[in-house]
Amino acid sequence: MLTRRQLLAAGGAAAGLSLSPLGLAAEGLIRRTIPASGEQLVAMGIGTNRYGVSTAEAKAPLKATLAEFVRLGGQLIDTAPSYGKGLSEAVLGELTEELGIRDQLFFATKVDGRMDGPRQMATSMEKLKTDRAELIQVHNLRALDTLLPALREAQTDGLIKYVGVTTSRHEQFEQLESVMRSEPLDFVQLNYSLDDRQAVERLLPMAQDRGIAVLVNLPFGRGRLFEKTADQPLPAWAAEFDCQTWGQFFLKYLLGHPAVTCPIPGTRKTKHVVDNMGAAMGAVPDEAMRKRQEALIDAL
C-alpha cells in the first residue's frame, strides 16, 4: 500500500480502487458517490469566496493553488456570481483556461435571484469560460419558486448536470429541510463543522434518506477551530485515522459522516491544498472516534 507521501507525489493517480461503503479507496483518494447518478467525486473541494483579485501578482498564488489541486486529484471548485465582489468566477475562468485544466474540474456555481435564472447562468458560463457547469445551486434558498424551475429546464436541456440549493445559516435550516423533503434535489450545500453540528440532527439523515449529495461549507467554523487549537498539540490518537495536522483532523471528522460528499474549504495557498487533500487520503474516523473528537473540541 502506498504511503501518503508517495500518493501526493503521484498526484492521486492511484485513486479509485476497492471502494468501501464510505467510498474509501484502498490506494488513493477518498471518493464519494453522487446518489443521483452514481458518479464518483473526489471528497475534497475548494471554495473560492476570496478569489476576487485583479492584479497578476494577486492571481499568481491562486493559479498555483488550482494547479496543485488538480495535480493531487482534486475536482470540485465551488463559486458564485457574488463571490469576490463579483470577480471570482471571472478569475477562475481565466486561470483554469490558462492552466488547461477544465476537463479535470467539477464546477459548482450558483444563481441568486438578482437577475433571471437563464441570464445569470449564461453570465456565469461566460465568466467561467465554459459551456457547461456540473452543478448550479440556488444561493441561500433565494427565489426558489422561479430559480428551481429554471435550473431544471437547463438540466433537461443538458446545460447543467446537477441541481442544488445552499445555505450557510442555521436560521435557514428549517426551510432547507422543507425543500429537501418536497423537491427532487441532486445536491445540498450547508454549514457543518466539528464545533457546529446542528446539521447532524435532521439535515444529514434526510440527505441520506432522500439520496441527496452534500457539500459542506465553513468546515473550519469560520476559523474558530484553528483558534481553539492554536496552542494545543495534535492528539497522538489522531494517527489512528491517518491524521497529521489539525486541518486534517477537522476535515476527516466531516468525512467520517457517510452523508458528506465533499467539504469545500476556502483555499488560496498551495500548502493548504496539500494539507486538505491529505485529509482525503487514508482512513476516516468511525463513529466512536468522531465522538472522541467532539469531546476534545467541546472541552477547549
pLDDT recorded at residue 82? 95
pLDDT recorded at residue 23? 45
pLDDT recorded at residue 116? 87
Q: Could you give the dihedral angle defined by the CA atoms of residues 274, 277, 279 and 284, in that order, rounded to the nearest 10 degrees?
A: -150
Share of the chain above pLDDT 90, in %: 89
User: Is pLDDT above 50 for 26?
Assistant: no
For residue 270, what are the CA distances in angstroms to 4, 63, 67, 275?
A: 17, 9, 9, 9
Average pLDDT over residues 267-273: 97
Please write the tens of the pLDDT for every residue from 30-87.
Answer: 999 999 999 999 999 999 999 999 999 999 999 999 999 999 999 999 999 999 999 9
- pLDDT tier for residue 115 given thresholds of 50, 70 and 90: confident
User: Is pLDDT above 50 for 24?
Assistant: no
Burial class (CB within 10 angstroms; exposed 0-12, middle 13-18, buried 19+) of 199: buried
Name the nearest CA neighbour of 182 among 147, 205, 206. Answer: 206
Dist. CA 192–CA 199, nearest whole Å: 6
Phi and psi (nearest 5°) for 169? -135, 135
* Cβ atoms of 45 and 75 closer than 8 Å: yes
- Residue length of the chain: 300
Q: Hey, what domains does the chain have and what are their CATH numbers? A: 12-220+259-282 (3.20.20.100)
pTM higher than 0.85 for the full model? yes
Bridge-based pairing state of the strands 262-263 and 160-166: unpaired
Please write the tens of the pLDDT for every residue from 207-249.
Answer: 999 999 999 999 999 999 999 999 999 999 999 999 999 999 9
- pLDDT tier for residue 114 given thresholds of 50, 70 and 90: confident
pLDDT recorded at residue 75? 97
